[in-house]
Amino acid sequence: MKKKLLGLVIGLGGLAALAMSAAANAHVDVAVGVGVPVYSAPVYAQPAVPVGYYGYGDDHERWREREWRRHEWRERHWRHEARREERWREHHGW
């Protein structure tokens, strides 16, 4: 009786391993539950890290404001030059 039970357990284990291998090859999720509860910590619980550690914060905001002012200046300058060129062409008959 013990040999049959042992053979059954080994056979089922081999069958489960074969199913998992086939699932891995086919990219299919096959879950085999044994009924043993396992505790795992929640994924969303992360340690608190200061904001300045990643390089963001006040420096980042000042950099964004400075880049935006440069962008706006370039846009105004480009429009000014375009209007100036348009007036020159109108005056010279182009």
Q: Where are the domains of the chain?
A: 1-28, 54-94
Checking 76-81 for CB contacts under 8 A at 24+ apart, the result is: none
Structure confidence by residue, pLDDT tens digits, 35-78 = 666 666 666 656 665 555 555 667 778 888 999 999 999 999 99
Query: Model-level pTM greater than 0.75?
Result: no
